[in-house]
Structure 1
Amino acid sequence: MDCFITHITLQNYKNYNRIDVDFCPGVNAILGLNGMGKTNLLDAIYYTCLGKSYFSSGDRLVLKKGEEFIRIKSKISVGDRKEKFVAKIIPGKKKEISIDDKKVERISDHIGRYPATIVAPNDIQLLLEGSEPRRNFLNHNLIQYDVNYTNQLIKYNRLLKQRNALLKSFAERQVWNEELLNAITEQMEEPAIYIHKKRHELVDELIPLFIDNYALISGERESCVIMYKSSLNDAAFSDIMQESKEKDRVLQRTTAGVHKDDLTFIMNDQLLKPFGSQGQLKSFILSLKLAQYRILKEKSGKTPILLLDDVFDKLDHERVGHLLKILHDQDYGQVFLTDKDEKDIPAVLEQISDDYAIFVIDEGALKYSSQKR
């Protein structure tokens, strides 16, 4: 089922006072110098899809300075239906999201309605920083098509928070109540097993798609491997928690479980983190996210929206050419990309699609737009 955004209106979103933009179903290039607002527009499109910003940790950070509220209005085509998304955001208060004037009670109820995959320069942290971004990568895919995964993840995180608070309380009061601790631990087992199972399945499906993507983008210059690391790979949850109990008591936190899962990235039989060049890291991320896109499309039954922020930066001409071929040869539905280069981008777009639009952003305003259909 095709899914694409036809229009967006922003009020007080980051550096935008107000902007109205009509998009095409094909490739939409958002151009402008750094700091003009092209990534902010991309972020607002992501907000439409996921109900939150990709680049900012909270709504206060997306509110334009000096303003009190944010409003996002989007029109989305989903198969034969035309839908209207509205988000009213006042930082410090519960955000209001509606679809066709019907209130969405929980953000988790909205996630997956308009599936999306985003690739951004900061995604390099997936490869270089701690394990949390890599778990979030897995979660971001699964929550968009598996409602039970979302519910089990929420349940596990709630119980984890309770267990950690209890461990800290024991230390502060210098007491130990194993029965009370076990009561929480036992409730964590069901969601932990489900989360582990779905992550394992996802990685198994990602690997061949990722390998194919990377071979195409890199011209088969390097060989890459992804491995899913989890304590549940080799032991039962109950055994793991029993073994880590004394360590948990000493450290006052839960030291084992699916909240410690990770991905290991290997290139040419070495860990990618210390050895990868900027071009290799960017190629790795692109290959991973495009694999994520294919799985999301298959599982959700909808064509996701693909968001590519500054996608050509750090790639040599050969890798850019290979990426363009992938985007041309495979059906990626509606694509949004940002770039600084107004001069050469039309020639690039011609290599991807016959249906494209160009939008030039200057200081939070739409300076120029054109479409080819």
Structure 2
Amino acid sequence: MHVAHLTLHDFRSYAAVDVELDPGVTAFVGRNGQGKTNLVEAIDYLSRLSSHRVATDAPLVRAGADQAIVRAAVVRDGRTAVLEVELNPGRANRARINRSPLPRARDLVGIVRTVVFSPDDLALVKGDPGERRRFLDELLVLRAPRYAGVRSDYDRVLKQRNTLLKSLYAARGSSRDAALATLAVWDEQLIGVGTELLSARLRLAADLAPYLGKAYEAVARGASRDDARIAYAASVPVENLVGSTEAAPSTEELRAAFVDELARRQRDEIDRGVTLVGPHRDELQLTLGPGEENRLPVKGYASHGESWSFALALRLASYDLLRADGDDPILVLDDVFAELDAERRSQLAGLVAGAEQVLVTAAVAADVPVELRGVTFHVADGEVRRA
């Protein structure tokens, strides 16, 4: 899979730009603030309908414009499709394939698959649990786009349930009885969609684990593939079976555990006015060390270099897992080489150089390792020129 042509209208700093792209390695080189990252961000947006840099769409629309358009010709298995998304902050976005409108913009998710490496990846290791949950969910959606709807449904139910819990604390008499009856309805919805999301995350973590060990061994000096581990820690009392030879819990077992834990925590939830059980409270535990007795959490114990290696390994593992699914994702290396020492630059470059399409951004050409010297575009003053 690769992008053959990218067109932007009022996206970020670009009023209009057209870029022809080739398979293999392409580097966008330019000083900070010139718009090189905006180009790869647009391609990544087509993949996930979200940005790896900001949480909302509004900053993606050029100042003074009402909407932005991202359009790309994507080649897959020798066939070309034109994907387009229209960003409308405050209103529903719209998407098209070959100029035919899609019922929902999110139906575009997963048609293009991207894996992005960026300086912000350090937050996967050093940030709060929400960063790691988002990492899992984004990978989950790339593998199976229908989970975009599951995640959206879960967020909607969670928001409604939290609102009800806040009102329950002060409710009395018949109004309290009515609120508790309504809570039972929201409990059922939370359990249904939450169990589906939890089950999918557990399977994903188990699938990702062996790729992580292999990737960490490749990028960390002197490491073995058993040094880096992940384990999914659920807020419902189920066994964390990642890396175990035991069978994963069934959907029925997860659902039963969810039901019991919600009932046990109901008083706490009403007192605090917030949902305390569910995938939104879960954690992806990252540990590092030779042997179980020496294993420690990466956050708070790993050195800066070890943390960077772990973050890179998470991205590489994602890439390898998607490839194992039968697709070759587009790799985006966004200003990542400036953050790495020479050895890690060379290691990472060697591992990804064989991808069908690699898009690199760098402030200066010297930051791009020799293994990734391909087509170069110079980005300056709103113009993108092929060298």
The total of aligned residue pairs comes to: 359
Aligned AA for 1:284? F
Aligned AA for 1:281? S
Tell me the equivalent position of 2:292.
Answer: none
- For 2:176, what is the secondary structure of its paired residue? coil
**Match 1:284 to one of 305, 310, 315:** 310
**Match 1:158 to one of 153, 156, 159:** 156
For residues 10 and 202 of structure 2, the distance between their equivalents in structure 1, rounded to whole angstroms, comes to 41
What whole-Å deviation, never above 9, does each CA across 1:28-58 have from its counterpart, x for those lacking one?
A: 1111111111111111111222223221222
Which is worse superposed, 312-321 or 32-41?
312-321
Aligned: 1:193 with 2:195: yes
User: What are the equivalent positions in structure 2 for 1:145-224 lying under 5 Å apart?
Assistant: 145-174=143-172, 175-177=175-177, 178-221=180-223, 223-224=227-228
Aligned: 1:226 with 2:230: yes
Which is worse superposed, 134-143 or 217-226?
217-226
State whether residues 279 and 316 of structure 1, in contact with CA within 8 Å, keep that contact through their aligned partners in structure 2: no
Tell me the equivalent position of 2:246.
Answer: none
For residues 74 and 196 of structure 2, the distance between their equivalents in structure 1, rounded to whole angstroms, comes to 33
- For 1:290, what is the secondary structure of its paired residue? helix
CA spacing shift, 1:187–1:122, aligned 2, 3 Å:
same
**Match 1:341 to one of 360, 364, 373:** 364
For residues 146 and 13 of structure 2, the distance between their equivalents in structure 1, rounded to whole angstroms, comes to 37
**Match 2:288 to one of 260, 264, 267:** 267
Tell me the equivalent position of 2:261.
Answer: 240
User: What are the equivalent positions in structure 2 for 1:1-373 lying under 5 Å apart?
Assistant: 3-174=1-172, 175-177=175-177, 178-221=180-223, 223-232=227-236, 233-234=238-239, 236-268=257-289, 269-299=295-325, 301-328=326-353, 331-343=354-366, 345=368, 347-350=370-373, 356-366=374-384, 368-370=385-387
CA spacing shift, 1:344–1:181, aligned 2, 3 Å:
closer
For residues 151 and 113 of structure 1, the distance between their equivalents in structure 2, rounded to whole angstroms, comes to 15
State whether residues 219 and 322 of structure 1, in contact with CA within 8 Å, keep that contact through their aligned partners in structure 2: no
For residues 90 and 146 of structure 1, the distance between their equivalents in structure 2, rounded to whole angstroms, comes to 26
Which is worse superposed, 14-23 or 178-187?
178-187
State whether residues 93 and 105 of structure 2, in contact with CA within 8 Å, keep that contact through their aligned partners in structure 1: no
For residues 367 and 116 of structure 2, the distance between their equivalents in structure 1, rounded to whole angstroms, comes to 23
> Following TM superposition, by how much is the alpha carbon of 1:5 offset from its aligned partner in structure 2, in angstroms?
0.4
Question: TM-score when scaled to structure 1?
Answer: 0.90
State whether residues 278 and 314 of structure 1, in contact with CA within 8 Å, keep that contact through their aligned partners in structure 2: no
For residues 148 and 342 of structure 1, the distance between their equivalents in structure 2, rounded to whole angstroms, comes to 40
Tell me the equivalent position of 2:245.
Answer: none
For residues 359 and 31 of structure 2, the distance between their equivalents in structure 1, rounded to whole angstroms, comes to 17
- For 1:244, what is the secondary structure of its paired residue? helix
State whether residues 7 and 16 of structure 2, in contact with CA within 8 Å, keep that contact through their aligned partners in structure 1: yes
What whole-Å deviation, never above 9, does each CA across 1:60-90 have from its counterpart, x for those lacking one?
A: 2112222333122211112132111222333
> Following TM superposition, by how much is the alpha carbon of 1:292 offset from its aligned partner in structure 2, in angstroms?
0.9
Aligned AA for 1:250? D
CA spacing shift, 1:193–1:67, aligned 2, 3 Å:
closer
Which is worse superposed, 142-151 or 162-171?
142-151
> Following TM superposition, by how much is the alpha carbon of 1:112 offset from its aligned partner in structure 2, in angstroms?
0.9
For residues 280 and 366 of structure 2, the distance between their equivalents in structure 1, rounded to whole angstroms, comes to 46
For residues 7 and 51 of structure 1, the distance between their equivalents in structure 2, rounded to whole angstroms, comes to 18
> Following TM superposition, by how much is the alpha carbon of 1:172 offset from its aligned partner in structure 2, in angstroms?
4.5
Which is worse superposed, 194-203 or 45-54?
45-54
For residues 193 and 145 of structure 2, the distance between their equivalents in structure 1, rounded to whole angstroms, comes to 13
Tell me the equivalent position of 2:243.
Answer: none
Gap runs ≥5 in structure 2: 240-253, 290-294
State whether residues 279 and 314 of structure 1, in contact with CA within 8 Å, keep that contact through their aligned partners in structure 2: no
For residues 5 and 100 of structure 1, the distance between their equivalents in structure 2, rounded to whole angstroms, comes to 14
Aligned AA for 1:203? A
State whether residues 149 and 194 of structure 1, in contact with CA within 8 Å, keep that contact through their aligned partners in structure 2: no
Which is worse superposed, 333-342 or 154-163?
154-163
For residues 11 and 35 of structure 2, the distance between their equivalents in structure 1, rounded to whole angstroms, comes to 10
> Following TM superposition, by how much is the alpha carbon of 1:346 offset from its aligned partner in structure 2, in angstroms?
7.0
The CA RMSD measured in Å over matched residues stands at 2.0
What whole-Å deviation, never above 9, does each CA across 1:186-227 have from its counterpart, x for those lacking one?
A: 222232222222211111121111111111111234732212
For residues 63 and 358 of structure 1, the distance between their equivalents in structure 2, rounded to whole angstroms, comes to 26
CA spacing shift, 1:156–1:17, aligned 2, 3 Å:
closer
